[in-house]
Amino acid sequence: MEQEPLSESPVETANTQAEEFKAFLVIIIFFFPILTTLAAGGYGFIIWMSQLILGPPGHG
């Protein structure tokens, strides 16, 4: 069995950093807006369904 080197070469480190930065951009530009929209829509749906079942909020 061969042991892997303890440190990566500068080229591999640069490639890894570039890949991580691209993944970061994908998360920030695509994933978070989609997740936020789904969360807000889901919350609105829960409120809508609760008002359908329990009635609109009132003065009790």
What is the torsional sign of CA 45, 51, 54, 57? positive
**Average pLDDT of the segment spanning 39-51:** 97
pLDDT score of 41: 98
Query: Does position 3 have pLDDT exceeding 80, yes or no?
Result: no
Tell me the pLDDT tens digit for each residue of 12-30: 787 898 899 999 999 999 9
pLDDT at residue number 1: 65
**Residues 51, 57: contact at Cβ < 8 Å?**
yes
DSSP 7: S
Neighbouring C-beta atoms of residue 15, cutoff 10 Å: 12
Cα gap 2→32, rounded to integer Å: 42
pTM of the predicted model over 0.85:
no
